[in-house]
Amino acid sequence: MRQPSLIDRQRAATDAKKHLIEHHRTKLADPEFAKRQADRRAIIEAREARMAERKATEEARQAREATEKAAQEAAERAAREAALQAELAARQAAAEAKAARDRQLEEALLNTRKARKAARKSKKRNGK
């Protein structure tokens, strides 16, 4: 058996390359191939459009949720602030009421002391 020479192998490789190029060119010229490629492109474009639509919908949903969350947090903050103001007003009113009761008690004690002192003075003057 004879081994192919270098030139024969190179020629065979060149012929194989030419055959592959020719096969590729005929495939590109085939109208069915062009139709399949166009169908694939249309499918890809439709898929990308659906993905873009889903992404836009998701972004809109996230924006809406963020807005709702911000509004809810603002309402909760306002409610907490109102409750805090009401509690502060109640504490202030209770402190004022306690101060008024303390003043009345102090005044009553002072009047009692004055009455006792007056009674002692009166007794002392009457007793002389």
Q: Rounded CA gap, 47 and 43, in Å?
A: 6
Find the angle CA(111)-CA(117)-CA(121) to the nearest 5 degrees.
140
pLDDT tens digits, residue range 12-69? 999 999 999 999 888 888 889 889 999 999 999 999 999 999 999 999 999 999 999 9
What was the pLDDT predicted at 25?
Answer: 86
CA 107 vs. chain centroid, Å, equals 59
The answer on pLDDT for 128 being more than 70 is: no
Nearest-angstrom CA–CA distance, 94 and 97? 5
Q: Are 12 and 4 in contact (CB under 8 A)?
A: yes
Domains in the chain: boundaries:
6-94
Q: What pLDDT was estimated at residue 67?
A: 97
